[in-house]
Structure 1
Amino acid sequence: MFEIQPMNAETYRRQTRRSTVIIALMFLALAMVLSTAAVTLFGEPGGDNLRFNVGGVFAALLLTVALIRGKFWSQEWMAPAVYGWQLKRSLMSVTNVMHQVTAAVEQGDPAAMKLLRFYHLGLSQMHQLDGNSSDQSQLTREMDQHAARMQALGIDTEQTQLNPAWLEALKQTRA
């Protein structure tokens, strides 16, 4: 279950830039080393070694992904980037069923209303963390209207957790 965490936008951007630079430099170093090694071991002097260079870069990409997911994912310096990835992934899971969410909200379904509230809160945080203020004003109006409707129905507006059961319930209504 994903939960929205309070986070300072400037700190988030600074830390994610740092982790991105670290990963990019690591990938570049691995790509150069592995491409050079592949050409040295398997290539022909003066020959066309493009496939070995490409193979080295591809191997570096695979190794980088494996290192990120296996070793770096749980490291403190990656935490903001991992959180951002999880937030965007959670929002995408709601976006994929948004037509069902909006239809269920119009019918007054409490689970759908909570899901839409989570989506609004998560999207608002994503805009804040990414520094995207242009979309925030329109979202704020939608959020306020939806929150007022939830309050009128006595539904808690603090929906900071994405409950997978809400998504499953919507998917079941479609089937």
Structure 2
Amino acid sequence: MFEIQPMNAEAYRQQTRRSTVMIALIFLALAMALSTLAVAVFGEPGGDNLRFNIGGVFAAVLVMVALMRQVFWTRPWMAPAVYSWQLKRSLMSITNVMHHVTTAVEAGDPTAMKLLRFYHLGLSQMHQLDGNSSDHGQLNREMEQHKARMDALGIDTEQTRLDPAWIETVKQASR
């Protein structure tokens, strides 16, 4: 279950820039080291060693994937980037069934209404964190209309947690 956490947008952007630079520098160092090692071990002096250089870069990609999954993902300096990734994954899981959600919302399904409210809140936060204000006006109008409808039906509008079962319920209801 994913939960939307309050987050300072400026601090988020600063921390994600820092983690991105750290990951990029580690990757560059690994790629250079592994390419150099591959050429030294398998290459020919004065020969065409491009394939060994490419092999070293490819090996660096594989090592970085392993490092990201096993080491970096749980580090505090990666927390904002991990949170953002999880938020985007949650929003995408709803986007993938949005046609079911909108149909169920129009029919007055409370689960779909909660799901759409979470989607609005998550999307709003993502726009804020990314500094994307271009679509914010339209989103705010949709959010307010939907919130008013939920209030009128007595449904709690503080939907900061995504229950994956809601997605399955909405999908099943529209079949």
TM-score interval, smaller chain: over 0.9
Q: Please list every run of 5 or more consecutive structure 2 residues that lacks an aligned counterpart in the other structure.
A: none
**CA distance in 2: counterparts of 1:75 and 1:146, whole angstroms:** 37
User: More deviation in 51-60 or 142-151?
Assistant: 51-60
SS at match of 1:45: coil
Report how far residue 132 of structure 1 moved.
0.3
Report how far residue 174 of structure 1 moved.
5.0
Q: How does 1:1-175 map to 2 (within 5 A)?
A: 1-174=1-174
The amino acid of 1:173's aligned partner reads: A
**CA distance in 2: counterparts of 1:105 and 1:46, whole angstroms:** 68
The TM-score normalised by the length of structure 1 is 0.98
Identity of aligned residues (%): 78
SS at match of 1:67: helix
**CA distance in 1: counterparts of 2:51 and 2:101, whole angstroms:** 48
SS at match of 2:108: coil
The amino acid of 2:169's aligned partner reads: A
Report how far residue 135 of structure 1 moved.
0.9
Q: Quickly say closer, same or farther: Cα 1:152–1:62, change in 2 above 3 A.
A: same
**CA distance in 1: counterparts of 2:83 and 2:136, whole angstroms:** 20
CA RMSD of aligned residues (A): 0.9
**CA distance in 2: counterparts of 1:36 and 1:16, whole angstroms:** 30
Report how far residue 65 of structure 1 moved.
1.4
The TM-score normalised by the length of structure 2 is 0.98
Instruction: Give the ranges of 4+ consecutive aligned residues of structure 1 lying more than 4 Å apart after TM superposition.
Output: none
**CA distance in 2: counterparts of 1:48 and 1:95, whole angstroms:** 48
Q: Deviations over 1:77-120 (max 9, x none)?
A: 11000000000010000000001100110000000000000000
Q: Please list every run of 5 or more consecutive structure 1 residues that lacks an aligned counterpart in the other structure.
A: none
SS at match of 1:73: helix
